[in-house]
Structure 1
Amino acid sequence: MRPFRRTTLVLALAALAAPLAACGAATPQPAAAGGGRLAVVATTTQVADFARNIGGDKVSVTQVLKPNVDPHDYEPTPADIAAIGAAKVVVKSGVGLERWLDETIASAGFKGATVDASAGVTIRQGNGDEEEAAGDPHIWHDPRNAKTMAQNIEKAFAAADPADAAAYERNLADYSAKLDALDADIQAKIGKLPPGDRKLVTNHDAFGYYIDRYRLQFVGSIIPSFDTSAELSAQDVDNIVAKIKQTGAKAVFSESSLPPKTAEAIGRRAGVKVVAGEDALYGDTLGPQGSAGDTYLKMEEHNTDVIVQALGG
């Protein structure tokens, strides 16, 4: 979306949000949470999950993005603006993923602390396009980066709520141990695949950190961009089909937040299986409650199990 249109929309929503909040018609705000809990707004499904694990019962987390909603070009709602205005801490994933957030924060009159969960993470470079200027934003697909994100969140919570700092520290230690176990488990599972079979074809370029961490070979993606809104050309389709045939990749992996039709068409042309439906990978977002990817830990386990089964079968 062009900057003028986005700015106009955010300002209009801000004007709507004020009367809604005043009359109580908007979504209940985190500042009203009982028990004196820290009011937190988290942008993406991943950082909201991290915030809930680190904050425990000491925080009230309002999650902006819903499961399977594309974070790359989200449009804020009046309820989002009102929630941010009432929050004490806003947690973002960073690396340019939430291009809509700065204007939304300014419109909301937010006076609290903003924590960039990506601080300290080594960022994979983009291809030079404007949409990839900040680098690859899908940092959570390496559990070591998830640990850094959790650490950044813990520091922000402790600074905003010193009285509960010890609880946040304990929660971080517990969650960090789970992330270490996840990393070791993924390494063990991927390690059972023959090196020649570790070839990944995905919907878009969302798994670079995972590929780097676990030493897979990236054959290509259907949408050759970090951004799911990038346009796909006929030449792009021809190129990915040719790469699949040339490399002998065994499967094309669809993603839960994207329509599977293009992946299915490419799979048919290339003569390989397409992993879709309940087995689709979770790339940009967690899954809905009750799904195989409704937490970060479950998402990464699901993705790994699906990849190993498809490539090792």
Structure 2
Amino acid sequence: MTNPHRSGPRRSALHRSAPHRSTPGRSVPARSYLLPVLCVLLLLGVSGCAGQDRGRPRVVVTTNILGDITRNIVGDEAEVTVLMRPHADPHSFGISAPQAASIERADLVVYNGLGLEENVLRPVEAARAAGVATLAVAEGVDPLGYGSGESADTLDPHFWTDPERVAKAVDLIAGQVVEQVAGVDAAAIGRNAAEYSAKIDELTGWMREEFDRIPPEKRRLVTNHHVFGYLAQRFGFRIVGAVIPSGTTLASPSASDLKSLADAIEKAGVRAVFADASQPDRLAQVLGRESGIDVEIVPLFSESLTAEGEGAATYLEMMRANTASITAGLSTA
């Protein structure tokens, strides 16, 4: 779909001076002709480069997890811009004015939806109102409700902890790229999506094998906030509770929340709390101190990718790292 807000190419005027009148018997210096020709060539070259850049399809993605997935699907068919930096919190990250402008110029905006990107939803909604194509991925992958706590009546946006729902997301994104982004090769997008889906299927099988090593009575999760509901449903875990009884890191637990969770942990015999690696684990440590129970703090990459070489630079790497950490934490705790 062509963005109606994309401005047209700038036209540079070539100002001509009065014609040079040569004096009979005198030759005109070669540089008098050479300079205008060079100017014309330069202007044509700049115009051509700018035109190619303006004509390149653009896909803008809000979160870095979705950004990695989208890049695997799009490949070289379009320019993919990811707004969220490594280690950022999707609930609280903000964007710059140039990033907001990139949303307005996009052929397609891919975002998580269900309220995840709390500080970025307004620019996305404004772009959609202006005619930019947008895709809220979480809304199309059979989302779950939280089911407990203050977010009980709210749909859970953290679908990526279930790789089978990510496979659904791949199909959604590929379909919208082909439909909305003019100039892409549909066959190439299809091949990329199929190859990436095969990797996700392989990941799902491996995760199931790893989690099968955890005794059923130990498949109980306590996390910093409600983020692993989809993983729990897919692989047979029970969510005992969360330090922050909410689906967002922007909430805070009360003393009674901590006391209730401590009682639930003690009753369930849980000895490991999984805290997001990109966030301080202070709240989880407070839980251990205030409750008087001995809990191990196990870091997970739950809501953001890392930079290259830091353990979770891609979605597939993140899920493998988390699976290994959960398996080790619950098998030994």
Q: Is TM-score (shorter-chain normalized) higher than 0.5?
A: yes
Return closer, same or farther for 1:196/1:130 CA change in 2, 3 Å cut-off. closer
Partner of 1:257: 278
Return closer, same or farther for 1:168/1:214 CA change in 2, 3 Å cut-off. same
Distance 1:166 1:288 in 2: 31
Structure 2: runs of 5 or more not aligned: 1-49
Instruction: Tell whether the 8 Å contact from 2:114 to 2:139 is kept in structure 1 after alignment.
Output: no
User: Aligned AA for 2:170?
Assistant: A
Query: Are 2:170 and 1:147 equivalent residues in the alignment?
Result: no
Query: Are 2:157 and 1:137 equivalent residues in the alignment?
Result: yes
State the Cα RMSD in Å. 2.3
Q: CA offsets per residue over residues 239-284 of structure 1, 9 Å max, x none?
A: 1222111111121111123211121232343212111xxxx11112
State the percentage of identical aligned residues: 35
Distance 2:208 2:257 in 1: 32
Higher helix share: 1
Q: TM-score, normalised by structure 1?
A: 0.82
Moved more, 263-272 or 133-142: 263-272
Partner of 2:262: 241
Partner of 1:311: 330
Instruction: Tell whether the 8 Å contact from 2:146 to 2:229 is kept in structure 1 after alignment.
Output: no
Instruction: Tell whether the 8 Å contact from 2:109 to 2:135 is kept in structure 1 after alignment.
Output: yes
Q: CA offsets per residue over residues 200-251 of structure 1, 9 Å max, x none?
A: 1110000000011110121111001101111211111111222111111121
- How far has the Cα of 1:116 moved from its partner? 1.9
Q: TM-score, normalised by structure 2?
A: 0.77
Query: Are 2:121 and 1:98 equivalent residues in the alignment?
Result: no
Partner of 2:236: 215
Distance 1:217 1:33 in 2: 53
Instruction: Tell whether the 8 Å contact from 2:77 to 2:184 is kept in structure 1 after alignment.
Output: no
Q: CA offsets per residue over residues 102-139 of structure 1, 9 Å max, x none?
A: 42135568543111222431211145988675510001
Which of these residues, 57, 75, 92, is aligned with residue 94 of structure 2? 75
Aligned length: 279
- How far has the Cα of 1:289 moved from its partner? 2.4
Instruction: Tell whether the 8 Å contact from 1:204 to 1:224 is kept in structure 2 after alignment.
Output: yes
- How far has the Cα of 1:145 moved from its partner? 0.8
- How far has the Cα of 1:84 moved from its partner? 0.8
Return closer, same or farther for 1:258/1:43 CA change in 2, 3 Å cut-off. same
User: Aligned AA for 1:295?
Assistant: T
Instruction: Tell whether the 8 Å contact from 2:311 to 2:318 is kept in structure 1 after alignment.
Output: yes
Partner of 1:299: 318
